[in-house]
Amino acid sequence: MPPKKHNNKIIKKEKDIEKDVEKETIDIDGKTRCEFASIIYKKKKSEIMLRYHDKRWCKPIHEENELYAMLVLETMQAGLSWLTILEKEENYRKAFDKLNPVIVAKYNAKKIEKLMQNPGIIRNKRKIVSIINNAKAFLKVQNEFGTFDKYIWSFTDRKTIDHHRSKKDEMPAKSELSEKISKDLKKRGFQFVGPISIYSYLQGIGIINDHNEFCDFR
């Protein structure tokens, strides 16, 4: 049976929408990127966001200190934009001993007060304390599993979940996987690890690949 004319119109409209979306995500360097990176770049002229999208986002991470560092950055995002965190990333690495969990886990009250005076980071005491708390929890996971890498990647049998997002797909804020990992992390004493933050974390360390199909940096 030939397709109905009405359906053809719908298909054509969807294809037109896809073309419009792809056109909007072509940047001045001629590269096509995911919507969020292009939109933020065009509004904020943020080279930091472009570099993050192009070279780091959804790229697998297995190095222990970087797994902890990304967890810190993602948990700091709560209530803020990711661009704000990226702009402060180097400040965090400098203030927190290169975000080395072995060192951070030993921070005391005096160190916390010093960090509260640092204008280069978010001076929220609960968040600062959570960075130290999560370093301790991170080391406990390492002790139990050998590495945090073995633990976090075990949830997907060490495979990246590629959602193959089309041009019109909306990016989810959370998933069953992020809900599951969030619950387990909370049980292990981690803080600021809700399912939305953990979904972003899974993207950040490459367990989830949410680059659009048309993106040149998949």
Q: Which two tokens stand for residue 193?
A: 């690890």
Q: What is the pLDDT of residue 37?
A: 86
pTM for the complete prediction?
0.86
Please say if the pLDDT value at position 191 is more than 50: yes
Please say if the pLDDT value at position 6 is more than 50: no
Q: What is the pLDDT of residue 170?
A: 82
215 annotated as ligand-binding: yes
Phi-psi region of 60 (alpha: psi -120 to 50; beta: other; left: phi over 0): beta
- Could you state, in order of their start, the residue ranges of all structural domains in the chain? 5-55, 64-209
- Under the banding of pLDDT at 50, 70 and 90, the label for residue 175 is very high
Coil, strand or helix at 23: helix
The arrangement of secondary structure in 64-209, i.e. its CATH architecture, is Orthogonal Bundle (1.10)
Helix axes 82-95, 47-55, angle to 10 degrees: 80
58 annotated as ligand-binding: no
For 13-31, write each residue's pLDDT tens digit: 344 434 444 445 566 678 8
Q: What is the pLDDT of residue 2?
A: 36
Distances (CA, A) of 157 to 144, 146, 151, 163, 182: 18, 16, 10, 16, 17
Q: Which residues contact 73 (CB under 8 A, 6 or more apart)?
A: 85, 86, 89, 92, 204
53 annotated as ligand-binding: yes
Which active-site residues does the annotation give?
52, 74, 82
Pairing label, strands 208-209, 161-162: parallel
